[in-house]
Amino acid sequence: MSKVKKILLGVFVVLVATQFIHPAKNIAEGIQTNNVAAIFATPEDVKAILKTSCNDCHSNNTIYPWYNNIQPVAWWLDHHIDEAKHGLNFDEFASYSPRRQYHKLEETEEMLNENEMPLSSYTFIHRDAILSTEQKETLINWTKNIRRQMEATYSMDSLVRQKK
Ligand code: HEC
């Protein structure tokens, strides 16, 4: 067997073997009591947008595509979901400190204005997750309304770390 064939065979064997190893799935049972909607007014249209465009990465429940059954795709997706959830998890939002909540809402507005979210590697396949201008406005207004409500409840000092 030539060297190239041996290497190809080796790669093939490893690929086959890895098909049997899967990362734990991001699927939580039951109602997520710390969901953002539990503490902040979240209209149905906002919930629908979050569900279609954000929650596969920023919640405790991912609806997996068929290709998640193929390695190394499953690892790649798992890594993305981990990273996304670590930064912002709408299912854990109620457990954040007010300052963190306020900051994540600001970040959300920024990400939407800069068209950074949802990730383009996601919308490439999930075409329905692409946000229309109206949907983007709906989400941004939602974050602004919550922030205004928070500003009425907390002092600015407790919401924003002061730059000295
Ligand atoms: C395919 C997965 C995916 C989808 C879908 C997605 N995101 Fe993200 N998001 C990520 C990843 C990964 C990061 C962290 C890395 C980065 O900042 O690029 C992130 C980061 C963020 C952050 C910054 C969090 C921080 O660390 O402060 C915000 C805010 C955010 N996303 C909002 C959204 C919103 C709103 C939507 C829906 C409109 C969305 N994302 C859809 C994967 C995703």
143-152 confidence digits (pLDDT tens):
999 999 999 9
* Residue 62 Cβ < 6 Å to ligand 1: no
Average pLDDT of span 55-63: 97
How much is the pTM?
Answer: 0.91
What's the token pair of residue 55?
A: 């929650």
By most ligand atoms within 8 Å of CB, the mutation choice from 109, 111, 120, 124 for ligand 1 is 111
* Residue 122 Cβ < 6 Å to ligand 1: yes
* Residue 143 Cβ < 6 Å to ligand 1: no
* Residue 98 Cβ < 6 Å to ligand 1: no
Task: Answer whether the bond into residue 118 is a cis peptide, omega within 30°.
Answer: yes
Average pLDDT of span 111-136: 96
Alpha helices by DSSP H, listed for 1-60, are 3-18, 44-53
pLDDT, position 164: 61
Q: Residue whose CA is closest, atom 37 of ligand 1?
A: 54
| Distance from Cα 113 to the centre of ligand 1, integer Å | 13
Average pLDDT of span 120-128: 94
What's the token pair of residue 18?
A: 């890895």
| Distance from Cα 49 to the centre of ligand 1, integer Å | 14
Distance between CA 27 and CA 62 in Å, rounded?
A: 6
98 and 128 in contact (C-beta within 8 Å)? no
Mean pLDDT computed over every residue of the chain: 94
Interval 65-107: pLDDT, tens:
998 989 889 999 999 999 999 999 999 999 999 999 999 999 9
Question: In whole angstroms, how far apart are CA 120 and each of 3, 110, 115, 125, 130?
Answer: 39, 16, 9, 9, 9
122 and 77 in contact (C-beta within 8 Å)? no
| Distance from Cα 150 to the centre of ligand 1, integer Å | 22
Which amino acid, one-letter code, is at 159?
L
Q: Residue whose CA is closest, atom 24 of ligand 1?
A: 87
What's the token pair of residue 101?
A: 């909540």
